[in-house]
Amino acid sequence: PQSKLPGLGTTIFTQMSALAQQFNAINLSQGFPDFDGPEYLQQRLAYHVANGANQYAPMTGVQPLREAIADKTAELYGYKPDANSDITVTAGATEALYAAITALVRAGDEVICFEPSYDSYAPAIELSGGVVKRVALQPPHFRPDWQAFTALLGEKTRLVILNTPHNPSATVWQQADFAALWQAIAEREIYVLSDEVYEHICFADAGHASVLAHPQLRERAVAVSSFGKTFHMTGWKVGYCVAPAAISAELRKVHQFLTFAVNTPAQLAIADMLRNQPEHYRELPDFYRARRDRFIEALSESRLEILPCEGTYFLLADYSAISDLDDVSFCQWLTKEVGVAAIPLSVFCADPFPHKLIRLCFAKQEGTLLAAAERLNAL
């Protein structure tokens, strides 16, 4: 058939994980932990399966989970969304992003993305007939350029997509960034899609700044999160979004025909986890900060230059001192010849990204990180 997404192949994450497997490399490419999530969560899943929670969940998500999400949001961001009208449980953050984009973007609408940006946004926008407008973020700090942003605003601008903590740059937005965003779009009818899947993996002193903490922005925002990241279970594919009732009603129309509903026992198990072991997400920054610091320390002899990491479980490294190869070729060489798989940054960009940067996932056991560091130190 004539492709609706010409030029698009399988994602870089699929490609690099396959290459890592083929060459038996240590896989620091695709972002997933090499350890399991909490035992309590696993036990609760088994419990709910054994107790008959095996039929369709309500389309919007099981009530205990939506209520637990509402309470967690109130605790963290000082705003309690309505569990019935404002919260929708989705098949991972990926589905929430797709449903929100499909519900909000009409043919010809323009959507502003910050680049580098996560790979799922642009195809979803294009399938809705939307046009992506890009604001470049420059290393090493990847701060938004509000002048460049404002220059893109026009009659057709419908949606802004942001991501904090940011994959792949590992930088975070501060409240001042949300204030600047509000200032730029206050007078216009523009929606905001805030990808906050790493909300609990933030190392900044001020903590994670959520769009949900901004009283004006949250009136037109969809905030997206993922339990895959929070509970070390990326394979469970349970996420959610929070949005005002009128926006939620629209994205639920899409959700009900994308998946209708999400895995019932997993939702119930996650609700138990949020209620009974909230310390898990409260302690997550310390958990990942320790891994980040251990990995950076282990790489101190390396010729890689490590960039600041304020959030996510990714570390950026500049390899200019080691090789002249472009980043895609370097990552292939690194996987095949050195035995460490990483992600090249340019794949997150449609525009040229002429930097020598790779992304390394540190959601790994200490032994994995030390073994990878030993190989990288030899370069």
Residues that bind ligand PMP (CB under 6 A): 31, 92-94, 118, 163, 167, 195, 197, 226, 228, 234, 239
Cβ at position 263, least distance to ligand GLN in Å: 18
Distance CA(125)–CA(129), nearest Å, equals 7
| Binds 93: which of ligand GLN, ligand PMP, none (CB < 5-8 Å by kind) | ligand PMP
Residue the block writes with tokens 């050195």: 338
Whose CB is nearest to ligand PMP? 92
Choose between 116 and 265: whose C-beta lies nearer to ligand PMP: 116
Task: Find out whether the peptide bond into 116 is cis, omega within 30 degrees of 0.
Answer: yes
Cβ at position 57, least distance to ligand GLN in Å: 23
Distance CA(309)–CA(141), nearest Å, equals 10
Whose CB is nearest to ligand GLN? 31
How would DSSP label each residue in 265-303? HHHHHHHHHHHH-THHHHTHHHHHHHHHHHHHHHTTTSS
Q: Three-state DSSP class for 305?
A: strand
Cα Rg of the chain, angstroms: 20
Choose between 170 and 181: whose C-beta lies nearer to ligand GLN: 170
Cβ at position 23, least distance to ligand PMP in Å: 23
Choose between 5 and 378: whose C-beta lies nearer to ligand GLN: 5
Binding site for ligand GLN (CB under 6 A): 11, 13, 30-31, 167
| C-alpha torsion 379→346→284→85, nearest 10 | -170
| Spatial CA neighbour of 53 closest among 269, 240, 234 | 269
Cβ at position 225, least distance to ligand GLN in Å: 13
Choose between 16 and 93: whose C-beta lies nearer to ligand PMP: 93
Cβ at position 147, least distance to ligand GLN in Å: 29
Choose between 31 and 37: whose C-beta lies nearer to ligand GLN: 31
Choose between 178 and 295: whose C-beta lies nearer to ligand GLN: 295
Cβ at position 229, least distance to ligand PMP in Å: 7
Determine contact, residues 86/220, Cβ cutoff 8 Å: no
| Binds 11: which of ligand GLN, ligand PMP, none (CB < 5-8 Å by kind) | ligand GLN
| Binds 47: which of ligand GLN, ligand PMP, none (CB < 5-8 Å by kind) | none
Distance CA(203)–CA(110), nearest Å, equals 33
For 139, which DSSP code? T
| Spatial CA neighbour of 193 closest among 72, 86, 104 | 104
Choose between 118 and 149: whose C-beta lies nearer to ligand GLN: 118
Cβ at position 64, least distance to ligand GLN in Å: 27
Cβ at position 118, least distance to ligand PMP in Å: 4
Q: How many helices (H) and strands (E) does the chain have?
A: 14, 13
Determine contact, residues 81/75, Cβ cutoff 8 Å: no
Choose between 298 and 359: whose C-beta lies nearer to ligand PMP: 359
| Binds 165: which of ligand PMP, ligand GLN, none (CB < 5-8 Å by kind) | none
Tokens at residue 33, please?
């932990």
Choose between 38 and 123: whose C-beta lies nearer to ligand GLN: 123
| Spatial CA neighbour of 338 closest among 313, 369, 294, 374 | 374
Determine contact, residues 63/82, Cβ cutoff 8 Å: no
Q: Three-state DSSP class for 39?
A: helix
| Binds 265: which of ligand GLN, ligand PMP, none (CB < 5-8 Å by kind) | none
For 202, which DSSP code? B
| Binds 92: which of ligand PMP, ligand GLN, none (CB < 5-8 Å by kind) | ligand PMP
Cβ at position 291, least distance to ligand PMP in Å: 17
Number of CB atoms found within 10 A of residue 133's CB: 19
